[in-house]
Structure 1
Amino acid sequence: ANNNGVLIYLQLAERAIEIVADRGLSQHVNDAQWQAMVARMSANFVQRRFEDGLTQALEEVSALLVTYFPLLPGAQKTNEMPDAPFVD
């Protein structure tokens, strides 16, 4: 409803990371902020600290969502899509 979804895409074979934010969140967070997050994640991955890198990125994205899209009093927290990682 708020167009505030975020996809963290890890292409393991190509060693590529991309963060795709929906338009609702993109109006608050610029490309440089997303690229800085990718750089921090990548630095952890180079050191083979995959869980640390991904956890940090998820925490940073969560903080942005709480800042720009706080849960309104009395509102139910619902997801339109599952949070579970998908590995193909």
Structure 2
Amino acid sequence: MALLNQQEQAQVAEAISEAERHSDAELVTVLARQADDYTYIPLLWASVLALILPGAINYLGQWLSVHQLILSQWAGFILLAVLFRLPSIQARLIPRAVRHWRASNLARRQFLEQNLHHTDGETGMLIFVSEAERYVEILVDRGISEKIPDSDWQTIVNQFTQRVAKGETAQGFIECITACGEKLQRALPASREKNELPNHLIILD
């Protein structure tokens, strides 16, 4: 299933064009389904529990032979590794700090990969969302940060994050772009024609 349908993507692109029409900023939007598959975390949990549980059973008096102990550890690891891969369970095993750290890393990689650090006047802006982590971040280049403090984007980020949590990502994008456009128009009003970077929503599915 697509993260946003074609109509929603077109609405996001139109909002970007409108924001860029009134300011010197270059906006790029990126939507990721998930920042990481986190394969190593369920496996780590399965490994630790598979080592501890048979030993705990043995300690409590249910004596196991060495062969039984090793067999139960292997069986436990396989069972838990499969169980912990279920999305509903995996989400509870991954600390929020880890999920946000991975999403933040992906946002910074996208800022570089989309060449937002090479725009004329250093006026690149990235609006990044990772749906699985319910993570939103706005990154800007020097030409914008010199005119608008990074703290000014936090309210917009918070409102967008609430939209993502409700499954209203498309509406969140449009509201975020519009709000950013208003700030950019005041701080960096349009002084030239430009279209260095794509206006369409970039989807990492």
* 1:56 Cα offset (Å): 0.8
Aligned: 1:18 with 2:137: yes
Distance in 1 (alpha carbons) for counterparts of 2:188 and 2:154: 21
Q: TM-score, normalised by structure 1?
A: 0.82
- Which is helix-richer, 1 or 2? 2
Q: Using the alignment, how far apart are the partners of 2:134 and 2:162 within structure 1? A: 12
In structure 1, list runs of 5 or more residues that go unmatched: none
Q: Number of residues paired by the alignment?
A: 85
Matched residue type, 2:137: E
Deviations 1:13-51 (A, max 9, x none): 322111101111111222221111110101222222222
CA deviation map 1:30-79 (0-9, x unaligned): 2221111110101222222222211111001211222122123xx4x211
| TM-score, scaled relative to structure 2 | 0.39
Unaligned runs of 5+ in 2: 1-119
Tell whether the 8 Å contact from 2:148 to 2:187 is kept in structure 1 after alignment: no
Residues 70/31 of structure 1: CA separation in 2 closer, same or farther (3 Å cut): closer
**What letter corresponds to residue 23 of structure 1 in structure 2?**
R
User: Which one scores higher on RCO, CA 8 angstroms, separation ≥ 6?
Assistant: 2
Indicate the larger mover: 53-62 or 39-48: 39-48
Aligned residue runs from structure 1 range 1-88, under 5 A: 1-72=120-191, 75=192, 77-88=193-204
CA–CA separation in structure 2 for the residues paired with 1:14 and 1:43: 12
> 2:152 & 2:190 partners in 1: Cα distance?
23
Displaced runs of 4 or more, over 4 A: none
In 1, the alpha carbon distance for the partners of 2:183 and 2:142 equals 14
Distance (whole Å) between structure 2 residues aligned to residue 40 and residue 30 of structure 1: 18
Whichever residue aligns with residue 196 of structure 2, its letter is E
Q: Which amino acid aligns with 1:66?
A: Q
For the residues of structure 1 that align with 2:127 and 2:173, how far apart are their CA atoms? Answer: 9
Percent identical: 26
Shift of the alpha carbon at 1:80? 1.1
Measured in 1, the distance between the counterparts of 2:173 and 2:190 equals 24
Q: What's the RMSD between the two structures over aligned residues?
A: 1.5
CA contact (8 A) 1:4 1:65 kept: no
